[in-house]
Structure 1
Amino acid sequence: MSQQLRRATLIACSATAVLGLAACGPDNANPSATAAAPGPAASTAGLPDGNKLNALLLPATAMPPKFKLDPSGSQSTGDGAIPPASPSAVPADKACDMLNGTGWVNSAGIIAASFAKNNYADEAQNMFAQELDAYRGNDAQTVMANLKKTLTACHTFTVTQDGQNFSATVTLQSLPGVGDEALQAVITSPEWTGGSTLVAARVGKVVVATYDNEQSNTGTAGVALTKTLVKNAASAH
């Protein structure tokens, strides 16, 4: 399986289904969510909006050489907020599918109040995607717990592309000292060249999520970039 084919699938479905933005495939993590009645836990008081989160994203100068911004992957909630919605559990098979895409944080099944995200890539089809999500109440803690459960349950899962099935393996570990809590997952397959590294870190009510897809390795450079992004998120508190 070529890495180019794999990345084409990754970025083809990276939109988040909020504020009228078009959803695509598994990144629409909560299609059946119903609006919840606003209450104290639904308040966005003190949360950064999409504009503020967007300003915290790493700039092009922080990216590896030859990486360029993919305009189609740049999205945020701006100065608005996403209406509160009831959590919606994602079926196990769909949750595993989401791990093979830039919107993998949506596999937690909880909608953020605000977010900002973008993707950088080079001509060799290597990619780094970054996202900041601000959550109401205790939702950020729940997101981290749900992501850990999903990554554990998806230790081995099947990726289907062009009618072919490929067996992928997730290696999960914690990242001590990164934000309030953090985890790292490396996804590999015997049929793939290189692999992908997913990192999620919580800083208060903000979850930092990154996806590093590399042909020559498993995306270890993305961990260092994520740590810098976590520091940016911490500076906003």
Structure 2
Amino acid sequence: MPQPLRRTALLACGATALLGLTACSSGTAAAPAAAAPVSTPGSAAATTAPSPSAAPSAPALPTGTKLNSLLLPATALPAGFKLDPDGARSTGDGYNPSEAPSAVPSPQSCDLLNTSAWITASGVSPAAFAQNDYQDASQNMIAQELDAFRGDDAKAAMAALTKALTGCHTFTVTQNGQHYTATITVKPLPGLGDEALQATLTSPSFTGGTTMVATRTGSFLAATYDSSQTTTGAAAVTYAKTLAKALPPTP
């Protein structure tokens, strides 16, 4: 039997680079793949904080450091899940520079939806973010991310995510030279923040599945990812509800 789908996601995650600055669910504030020393969700790497000169005008959005303090602790997750240090990133005490949204082509957006960096499929860069990933011994994975956006960018990100998820309803996953069909089912989650959606990714060729939840509250977006080899990862909904309650009021 082929490897479970989420193992493909783990391999693809760190290699993803979107908008010139991308990491596994978000990214640490530093030198990503081919850009200035700042990161956006899904970017890989270093730990240098972004330049404070990129900070939004007052009233300021919370920094990545503040958002990181609002992420769910290990004690809120099932026993056996441990923090993956390579998946813990944020913009630190600085901010990402303002960038115009950039549409992600369909093939690339579908690939991104098969990783814990799935919200980068929106093509909208946040001003600040914090993320981390947890794994257990069976390679099940739980990821979470909080993003703070300028202006109406949070609304634009949700709209773009909805479009990407709908457009990738059925797509092809390539693993070990083999091609498999995956399906994403999307539905709204009424009563969670200002707007929220739930997406479940499954394939008849793999065991288990993955559930992804994005919820917008004002200028903030909370995203969760629960990839399981035995279930469809529905716990992502519970995690998203808890994260959304922790978000501060929009400045």
Same fold (TM over 0.5): yes
Query: Per-residue displacement from partner, 1:148-191 (whole Å, max 9, x unpaired)?
Result: 01111110011112211111000000001111110000000011
d(CA) in 1 for partners of 2:160, 2:101: 11
The 1:183/1:189 distance shift into structure 2, 3 A limit, reads: same
d(CA) in 1 for partners of 2:75, 2:33: 29
The 1:74/1:60 distance shift into structure 2, 3 A limit, reads: same
Task: In structure 2, list runs of 5 or more residues that go unmatched.
Answer: 17-22, 35-40, 44-55
Pick one of 192, 199, 212 that aligns with 2:213. Answer: 199
Pick one of 133, 148, 157 that aligns with 2:147. Answer: 133
Aligned residue for 1:107, secondary structure, equals: helix
d(CA) in 2 for partners of 1:129, 1:18: 15
Alignment of 1:93-112 (within 5 A): 93-112=107-126
The 1:55/1:86 distance shift into structure 2, 3 A limit, reads: same
The 1:21/1:210 distance shift into structure 2, 3 A limit, reads: farther
Residue 65 of structure 2 corresponds to: 51
The 1:116/1:27 distance shift into structure 2, 3 A limit, reads: closer
Report the count of equivalent residues.
Answer: 224
Pick one of 138, 143, 149 that aligns with 2:163. Answer: 149
Q: Residue 10 of structure 1: CA displacement?
A: 4.4
What TM-score, normalized to structure 1?
A: 0.87
d(CA) in 2 for partners of 1:110, 1:44: 21
The 1:163/1:44 distance shift into structure 2, 3 A limit, reads: farther
Is 1:22 aligned to 2:32, yes or no?
Answer: yes
Among the aligned pairs, what percent are the same residue? 51
d(CA) in 2 for partners of 1:11, 1:62: 23
Is 1:64 aligned to 2:78, yes or no?
Answer: yes
d(CA) in 2 for partners of 1:129, 1:223: 12
Pick one of 8, 11, 14 that aligns with 1:9. Answer: 11
What TM-score, normalized to structure 2?
A: 0.83
Alignment of 1:83-232 (within 5 A): 83-232=97-246
The 1:235/1:19 distance shift into structure 2, 3 A limit, reads: closer
Aligned residue for 1:197, secondary structure, equals: strand
d(CA) in 2 for partners of 1:117, 1:149: 23
d(CA) in 2 for partners of 1:116, 1:44: 21
d(CA) in 1 for partners of 2:30, 2:249: 30
Aligned residue for 1:105, secondary structure, equals: helix
Query: Per-residue displacement from partner, 1:47-81 (whole Å, max 9, x unpaired)?
Result: 11101100100000001110000111000111100
Deviating runs (4+, > 2 A) in structure 1?
Answer: 4-8, 10-14, 16-24, 42-46, 234-237
The answer to whether the 8 A contact 2:27-2:89 is kept is no
Which protein has the bigger helix share? 1
d(CA) in 1 for partners of 2:139, 2:163: 30
Letter in 2 for 1:106: T
Q: Residue 12 of structure 1: CA displacement?
A: 3.7
d(CA) in 1 for partners of 2:249, 2:81: 26
Task: In structure 1, list runs of 5 or more residues that go unmatched.
Answer: 29-41
Residue 74 of structure 1 corresponds to: 88
Letter in 2 for 1:6: T
The answer to whether the 8 A contact 1:66-1:122 is kept is yes
Question: What do you get for the CA RMSD once the two structures are aligned?
Answer: 2.3
